[in-house]
Structure 1
Amino acid sequence: MSGEGAPAITVEGADRLKVAVVASEWHETVMTGLLDGARRALSDARVADVTELRVPGVFELPVAASRLSGHGYDAIVALGVVIRGGTPHFDYVCQAATSGLTAVAERTGVPVGFGVLTCDTEQQALDRAGLPGSGEDKGHEAVTAALATALRLAQWPRA
């Protein structure tokens, strides 16, 4: 697992934040785990102002995050999973999602939590989905990172 060396992140004061969670519909079992982890992190941080938007796939996450970024959200969390197949499609979708979500964060100044799993196998995705028996909870981690970044940037308002 890649979680070794992860920092302990605190998100005190996140209860006043407005957060959007954009999630793919592909791979229902994995997405259930990612969304449950994200919801748990938001609840743990006492964030009440949450919007969830489901989109068909990972490729659609950047445009959804971009549209929502102009509606007063303090943080956006993108959740999805892409599992490698036998064609280069995996590479194109992963690159487009990564570049697109990065561009949204850079262009808008709104932190985007990256909870997109890019896995070689379905088992790798299940191991990271925060399900019972999973070794990692990437939905929870993506929310925590986005909240912590939003809190740390709050002293520098968006222009």
Structure 2
Amino acid sequence: MAGVSSFSDTFSRAARGALTGLLAAFTALAVAKLVAGLVRPATGPVTVVGGAVTDRTRAVVKDFAISTFGENDKAVLRLGILMVLADLARQAGVDTWRQWSYPWQATPGGHTITVRATDGTRTVQTEQRTRTIPDGASGRHSVFVTVPQTTGTA
């Protein structure tokens, strides 16, 4: 059926999206670690986040982590941070906008091109326009283009 994706197509897009999100997060972490190493070698993004989490954690939770994991408490904290980051990156990769194209034989003159998005469940974006903040932009996006009259072949 035209216009309907099969499960394998949808799964494949989701897997590619997840992989893209993970690769983007890995690249961002690697660059941040490199820059941190040049500026302040003792810090890195995961270390800084771990310190911020530790500073804001109640003593009873810290004591539990130390008694449960011993000297490995910091390693467990870093692993937890990386796991949360990986999951967020995976979700972001699946849920982000996709580049699209449409083969169009344009005729000379003015044309209004209108697009709307669909989500992972194929729910079409509402026509009602909203601002980006606080919940993200909504509504149809349109642009007006003018296709010039051609006078001959090259």
TM normalised by structure 2 equals 0.28
Structure number with the bigger relative contact order (C-alpha 8 A, sep ≥ 6) is 1
Answer with 1 or 2: which has the greater Rg. 2
More strand by share: 1
More helix by share: 2
